Amino acid sequence: MDLLIAQITTDLRSSDALRQSSALLQALQQCAAGRDVSALARTAATEILAAPASAVCKRLALDLLRALPLPPDLLDPLLLSSLRSDLSFPDPDVAASSIASFPSLPSHLLPTLLSSAHADIAAALSSPAESLRLAAVTSLSSLLPRDDLALMCSTNPSLMGHATTWWGRLAELALDSADAVAAAAFEALARLFQELDARRMSRLAGDKLVDGEGALAVRAQWAADAINFIWSRRNMLIARSMVMPVESFRVTVFPLVHAAKMVASGAVNTLRQIAKPGDATIADTVEASAEKLVGVSDIVSHLLPFLSSLDPPLVFEVGINMLSLADAPGGKPEWASGAIIAILTLWDRQEFSSMRETIVRAVVANLHLLDLGMQVSLFKRLLQMVKNLRAESDRMHALACICRTALCVDLFAKESVRRGQKPVPGTDVISLFEDARVKDDLNSITSKSLFREELVASLVESCFQLSLPLPEQKNSGTESRVIGALAYGTGYGALNWTEPALDVVEVCRPCVLWDCDGRTYAIDCYLKLLVRLCHIYDTRGGVKTIKTGASQDQILNETRLRNLQLQLIRDLREVHTSRISSRLIWAISEHFDLEGLDPLLADDPEDPLNIIISNMHKTLFNTDSSATTSNRIQDVQAVLICAQRLGARNARAGQLLTKELEEFRSSTSADSVTKHQSRYVLQIIKYVTKNPDNRWVGVGDATGDYPFSHHKLTVQYSEAAAAQDRKLEGLVHKAIQELWRPNPSQLTLLQTKGIGALHKDLPKAGTLTGSSDPCYIEAYHLADPTDGRITLHLKILNLTELELNRVDIRVGLSGALYYMDGFSRTVRHLRNLVSQDPVQSSVTVGVSHFERCSLWVQVLYYPFYGSGGSADYEGDYAEEDSQMTRQKRSLRPELGEPVVLRCQPYKIPLAELLLPYECSPVEYFRLWPSLPAMVECTGTYTYEGSGFKATAAQQYDSSPFLSGLKSIYSKPFHQVCSHFIRTVAGFQLCYAAKTWFGGFVGMMIFGASEVSRNVDLGDETTTMICKFVMRASDDSITREIEADLQGWLDDITDGAVEYMPEDEVKSAAAERLKISMERIALLKAAKPKVPPAKTEQEEEEEKKKMSEELELDGFGNPKGPSTLSKLTAEEAEHRALQAAVLQEWHQLCKEKALKAQ
């Protein structure tokens, strides 16, 4: 290895560019193989970077230096000096190589380099050499839009001025005579616009600072300036793009279209307000609305011929951007139809096959821009295209778009007819889904296709979204057009959404007959919508008439629902899944009009009531079904409740069900619980039969609820079907939520809610130094869970009276933190720290796994920096060789002895590495027992007040006994559910979270309060004892929590809860028990004396008196002891809830004791 390094060193010192480049390539190869070639660093720096060399060699030498494990205090000066000197090198290729390396530099080096080299960068942008202009444009287009540079510009006015000048020059270079430079300039503008919404380049950057508010304002100013330039020079830019090669034309499309859309929609004014929030003089400085429409039409006319191009990527790019313009104010449906036809032609030609998902997504997302007739004609074709998509997320999103479009078309067409317009055929939901292949799929019983379940679930969930209030949006755009069409169709009426929902339940009716291998999510969705519609139209009361005030539409809808119910009753015989059979019985019997049945058909087997009862018999006596198709306990419970309500509502039903339940009670199919429940139901039916006016005893109001779900409450019976259901539910809900109620972008928030919408309070800064230290340092951090990175922001204040020429900030890491360049610590060099003048510095680190971690800051002062110099070495060096002389004369001023200040470690809270995980209580309690790792601890805090003041009086406000846990609401936990016992200030809280790395963390907090013994005058202070139980999916998570329990409690409660060790808990419990025993002994001692024993004659007389006092029942027999409790309702609730919480607590303690043994 030494020979190889010697050979490479010799080649590097030669002046032959070919030998130098081959030697550098060989060194990079050895470095990539994991061998240490650090000895070559100084040679590469002195012989290549600091000396005249070719551009290729300089670039390879830079790559080699960055690849070597050099400490930053050695690497940073080498990089800065070499890049700075190469920028002014006469050879444009060398200067281009230097400027092309800027985007790969760490963030902390950029401000110094860009500020010192701004004149050279401006010269490169105006250089006569095309290669240098191209390198400068490419480098700046990758560097300037990034978050870290935008954040630096927000705090550095001089750098901001330079960057604004460079952006202006980049926009002008879009008109450059060289095609490559013009294309790169167009691409730079496109990157700037795209970074406003999706910060892709910022995420790809290496040493990235976590985004702050200032970055948005800076980028908004650059974007507003670029938009004004493009709009004012649009004709010149259009002409320039027309003479570019066809392969470069594609990059010119997006900047033109985006600028036109921002001007037409007025969003450019919002960008100006973001850039200058206090400026009230901002107005629409661009042309009037007529001029805007003309400008947008000019751009569309410019793009339209390229829709017939033979280059598929160009057709797709132009089509997507024309759809964007069609959505702008003044857009026309013809623009959208031309673009969609061109994009679908790509599908027909089987070209651009790698973008199939993107094609479908683009078409279905913009389908609302077409006129009604074209939407209908494209609908069935799009449905088949969506069915054939491979990726689940794309398929679900496209399906959600199609379902929303179907409801939108149906509502819009019906409202147009009501307002006197000519009806458009095929616009109702039933006609839209009339396609033969879709119909066959829906009517097939044992189809293996999951698409039909996705379709039914998406349709039903879209109907439920339509039943909710439509979101309000002030700005124009895609969502506003859709919301406007839906609002037009529903007329903002409360029940207009039920008309397309009725079509949906008719289209999806065959789903109850499906055999889905145990999956029930889609069928549950369908039955839930059916029950909701039956409840809204009150089908239990029969079809209303005009005499009772019903409208024609209401009568028609109720008749359709009744016919649908009759059809579903006939389908009951063919239901293949017994679990669905009982749920369908529930959905129908709860809302079916029994009084409307013909009494003459009572003996007919086809009578609906006879069919329902025969299927209830089948469910009650069904013992052969497997666990995957039935849930017998739940099925029988549901059927027994249906029997009670049916029998109490109708006399004939009561007679038939009495016979069925008597038979069921006496059979072996019933266990002890169902026998008792059957007896209870029979008693109710008999009572209602004898007292018809008291029918309310067995019948409640129809609530419209559907109490069934595909979720399983226990982990013991894990099923593949249930897992598939949960996955499908997650995909459907995510797609529907993203489409109907998306999270607004930053720009949308600012347009709708004003400039203050994005204001975020900075985290609280912590002090790392002591009161007598010569330097004051405070720090706070920002976290980015998406990329798994944390940025530490430091503020350094020189408290001495000296001006320090050099200060080094060293930051070391412990725990799961790491630097992106692989070093264990980093150094930030600060220059010229004036007394009492704060200086900002930042460092970004990555987090590899869930573990406690800290950043260790060390400050090195160099008070004597610059005192030594070359003057110390002047004199006669005749006795020394020339090399030693050259080295001594080239020495820099000595650093001198540093003053080292070691700061307190900055600890990252463990809870910072968590994210809230939203889940239902059912799913939470299903997961809880299956989590393998558990840790528990006890904590206490005090709160003021007790008794009525602290509990009952505060029932509508935040409870004072939760004062110690109020900080958890601001932590990354999702509160799943909570149970409060206000009478004794007890509670149970359940939280769910996930780590940044996917591990699940569940936390339960049990609390019970005790009055403090030292009660002062005034309000009492009460101690709350909390049991924290954490369960996790991995032992490593609980191990980290258990390592420092007080630290964990401090993280989640901000220091409000104090950890109590287990021995203290036990001693406190023993003390309380001792006090209780003493009180009991005192009470026993205070009891009255025992009376003397009575004679036999006195006992016989007392027995006679008691027998006379006994009450007799209706049969003359003495009544048994009363089961009625003498407790009040409040006392009973208090005891039951207290017992529930304490039983859970004691169970946990018992498990721990068994584990310890």
Please name which of 959, 991, 995, 994 lies closest in space to residue 975, comparing C-alpha atoms: 991
Same domain, 376 and 457: yes
Extract the tokens encoding 312: 């598929």
| Mean pLDDT computed over 940-949 | 64
Q: Which domain holds residue 656?
A: 571-703
Q: What is the mean pLDDT of residues 131-148?
A: 86
- Cβ 139 vs Cβ 102: under 8 Å: yes
589 and 683 housed in the same domain: yes
For residues 140 and 88, membership in a common domain is answered with no
- The least confident of 117-131, 1053-1067, 1136-1150 is 1136-1150
The DSSP H or E segment spanning 1008 is strand 1000-1011
Question: Does residue 886 belong to any structural domain of this protein?
Answer: no
C-alpha–C-alpha distance, residues 351 and 356, integer Å:
9
Determine, yes or no, domain membership for 887: no
Q: Which residue has the higher pLDDT, 39 or 345?
A: 345
**Residue 282 in domain:** no
The more confidently predicted of residues 750 and 600 is 600
Work out the average pLDDT over 585-602: 82
Lowest-pLDDT choice from 185-199, 367-381, 660-674, 1120-1134: 1120-1134
Please give the Cα distance from 394 to 383 (Å, whole number). 13
* Better pLDDT: 1136 or 891: 1136
Query: Exposure pattern of 389-408 as b/e (b: 16+ CB <10 Å)?
Result: beeeebbbbbbbbbbbbbbb
CA distance 316 to 343: 6
Return d(Cα 365, Cα 353) in angstroms, integer: 19
Average pLDDT for 1123-1127: 55
Name the domain boundary from 703, 722, 743.
703
Alpha helices in 14-91 (DSSP H): 17-32, 41-44, 55-67, 72-87
| Helix orientation angle between 608-620 and 651-666, rounded to the nearest 10 degrees | 20
Question: Residue 645: its pLDDT value, please?
Answer: 85
Return the pLDDT at 698.
Answer: 66
Render pLDDT for 518-559 as a digit per residue (tens, 0 to 9). Answer: 888 899 999 999 999 998 888 877 787 787 777 888 888 888
Out of 319-328, 448-457, 843-852, 1132-1141, least confident range? 1132-1141
- The more confident residue out of 763 and 422 is 422
Residue 1120 has pLDDT above 80, yes or no: no
pLDDT tens-digit profile of 911-932? Answer: 999 999 888 787 788 788 878 8
Q: Which of 839, 1032, 821, 808 is nearest to 936 (CA)?
A: 1032
| Percent of the chain with pLDDT strictly greater than 70 | 76
Q: Residue 1024 — φ and ψ, nearest 5°?
A: -100, 120
452 and 387 inside one domain: yes
- Are 17 and 73 contained in the same domain? yes
The CB-side HSE value for 1016 (13 A sphere, CA atoms) comes to 6
- Whether the predicted pLDDT of 413 surpasses 60: yes
Place of tokens 């709350």: 1024
Indicate the pLDDT class of residue 288, thresholds 50, 70 and 90. Answer: low
CATH number for the domain spanning 951: value is 3.30.310.10
pLDDT in tens, 328-349: 777 777 888 888 888 888 777 7
Last residue of a domain, one of 841, 871, 901: 871
Mean pLDDT of 1098-1112: 54
Q: What CA–CA distance (Å, rounded) separates 1034 from 1040?
A: 11
Q: Say whether both 142 and 64 belong to one domain.
A: no
- Tell me the mean pLDDT in the region 869-880: 40
Q: Do 584 and 508 lie in a common domain? A: no
Whether residues 530 and 578 fall in one domain: no
The verdict on residue 463 lying in a domain is: yes
The residue-averaged pLDDT of 1005-1014 equals: 68
Question: Residue 21: inside a domain, yes or no?
Answer: yes
92 and 134 fall within a common domain: no
pLDDT exceeds cutoff 80 at 897: no
Distances, alpha carbon 876 to alpha carbons 496, 880, 892, 894, in Å:
102, 9, 20, 21
Res 870: pLDDT: 38
The verdict on 54 and 133 lying in the same domain is no
The secondary structure of 362-402, three-state, reads HHHHCHHHCCHHHHHHHHHHHHHHHHCCCCHHHHHHHHHHH
Does residue 447 share a domain with residue 401? yes
pLDDT tens for each residue of 347-367: 777 666 666 777 787 788 788
pLDDT of residue 1092: 59
The DSSP H or E segment spanning 894 is none
Residue 277 has pLDDT above 50, yes or no: yes
User: Are 87 and 128 within one domain?
Assistant: no
CB 996 within 8 A of CB 850: yes
Rounded average pLDDT over 386-404: 85
- 182 occurs within a structural domain: yes
For 474-505, give the DSSP string.
-S-SHHHHHHHHHHHHHTT-SSTTHHHHHHHH
Structure confidence at residue 1138 (pLDDT):
64
742-755 residue pLDDT tens: 776 666 666 566 55
- Most confident of the following: 857-861, 1132-1136, 1137-1141: 857-861
CB 357 within 8 A of CB 394: yes
- What pLDDT does 185 receive? 92
Q: How confident is the model at residue 718 (pLDDT cuts 50, 70, 90)?
A: low
pTM: 0.72
Q: Identify the CA nearest to 536 among candidates 692, 420, 702, 683.
A: 702
Whether residue 442 contacts residue 507, with contact meaning beta carbons closer than 8 Å, is answered with yes
pLDDT band at 872 (very low <50, low <70, confident <90, very high): very low
Could you tell me which residues are beta bridge partners of residue 776? 797
Q: Which amino acid is at 392?
A: E
Question: Is the pLDDT score of 174 beyond 80?
Answer: yes
Residue 204: which residues within 8 A CB-CB, separation 6 or more?
none
Give the integer Cα–Cα distance in Å for 145 and 215. 9
Torsion of CA 127, 130, 133, 135, to 10 degrees: -140
Nearest-angstrom CA–CA distance, 1044 and 1050: 10
On whether the CB atoms of residues 941 and 1034 are closer than 8 A, the answer is: no
Query: Does 1010 reside within a domain?
Result: yes
Q: What is the pLDDT of residue 172?
A: 92
- pLDDT, mean over the chain: 78
Tally the domains of the chain.
6
Helix (H) or strand (E) holding 106: none
Contact predicate 959/982, CB 8 Å: yes
pLDDT at 955: 43
Out of 504-508, 1023-1027, 1116-1120, the most confident range is: 504-508
CA–CA separation, 573 vs 582, rounded Å? Answer: 12
Q: Picking from 20-29, 114-123, 205-214, 1060-1069, which range would have the lowest pLDDT averaged per residue? A: 205-214
Q: How confident is the model at residue 193 (pLDDT cuts 50, 70, 90)?
A: confident
Confirm whether 564 is domain-assigned: no
pLDDT given at position 226? 92
For residue 184, which of 235, 236, 138 has the smallest C-alpha distance?
A: 138
> Domain boundary residue among 68, 101, 134?
101
